[in-house]
Amino acid sequence: MNKNKLPKYPLIWQKDDFFIKIYCSIPNIATGIVITTDKAKFVVDPGDGILRDLNKDYSKKEILEISDIFISHGHHDHLGGLWSLLTYLSVMKRKKPLNIYYPKGCPEIQSIYSAFISVYSKEIEYPINLINITDQKGFALDGVQVTPFKVNHREPNEFGKAVEVPSLGYRFDYDGKSICYGGDTAYTENLVKMAKGADLAIIEAGALTDEEAELHMTIEQASKIGETAEEYFLVHVPEN
């Protein structure tokens, strides 16, 4: 992609009190997103740097109010900042439970959680609820209707073959408005369905060539899906 067409982070969108800030979404580096309403404070994909970014915008008290974290998949650029965020919440004496939603079978999240609990079990004062998502059933949190949906993300195995990894997108509906985040995915009808008519769609365009479209979407594929929403951001675009 032409350098001056690259997304300029942070990307911010707001309608009334429904707010989203995408601190960044750069392949192999980091994605980090915060979604808030008057009542809710969610983090989506806590990639490397998420704590630093939150700390610039929010007070300690506000960071402690984060109730739920949503993970799209286990690649390091989508959850590399989770350890420091969990540790910060412990050091700051958080007491209230924290929910972490993730696609069932994601080995990275289960490993980070087990390691974290074994290191900090003596000092941590807040329960962490790991909630693995197996289906596309929606649920309500602080007035926000959350609908996870399966997407189609892959990684090369030791033989260079692209194998599927547990991966989800999430749609957030609040006060008659909706945000659809597809996570990382190749073209999938599920995302087409969920992005359609959303007030904001956040669509990855990580494939530079048609050959890479097995793992990610090309700008053309992503834009086509984005255009079915009221507004859209293309994210996860390779910088070089």
Q: Which residues bind Zn ion (CB under 5 A)?
A: 75, 184
Q: Are 79 and 69 in contact (CB under 8 A)?
A: no
Q: Are 24 and 7 in contact (CB under 8 A)?
A: no
When the beta carbons of 18 and 181 are compared against Zn ion, the nearer one is 181
| Rounded Cα gap, residues 136 and 88, in angstroms | 31
Strands of the chain, DSSP E: 11-15, 18-26, 30-36, 41-44, 68-70, 98-103, 128-133, 139-141, 144-150, 153-156, 162-165, 168-174, 177-181, 200-204, 231-235
When the beta carbons of 76 and 93 are compared against Zn ion, the nearer one is 76
Least Å from the CB of residue 79 to Zn ion:
10
When the beta carbons of 184 and 199 are compared against Zn ion, the nearer one is 184
Q: How many CB atoms lie within 10 A of CB 71?
A: 29
When the beta carbons of 67 and 132 are compared against Zn ion, the nearer one is 132
Least Å from the CB of residue 24 to Zn ion:
14
When the beta carbons of 21 and 75 are compared against Zn ion, the nearer one is 75
Least Å from the CB of residue 114 to Zn ion:
22
Taken as a whole, the chain contains a residue count of 240
Residue type, 208: L
Least Å from the CB of residue 76 to Zn ion:
9
- 21, 1, 20, 63: which is closest to 222 by C-alpha? 1
| Residue closest to Zn ion (Cβ) | 75
Least Å from the CB of residue 184 to Zn ion:
4
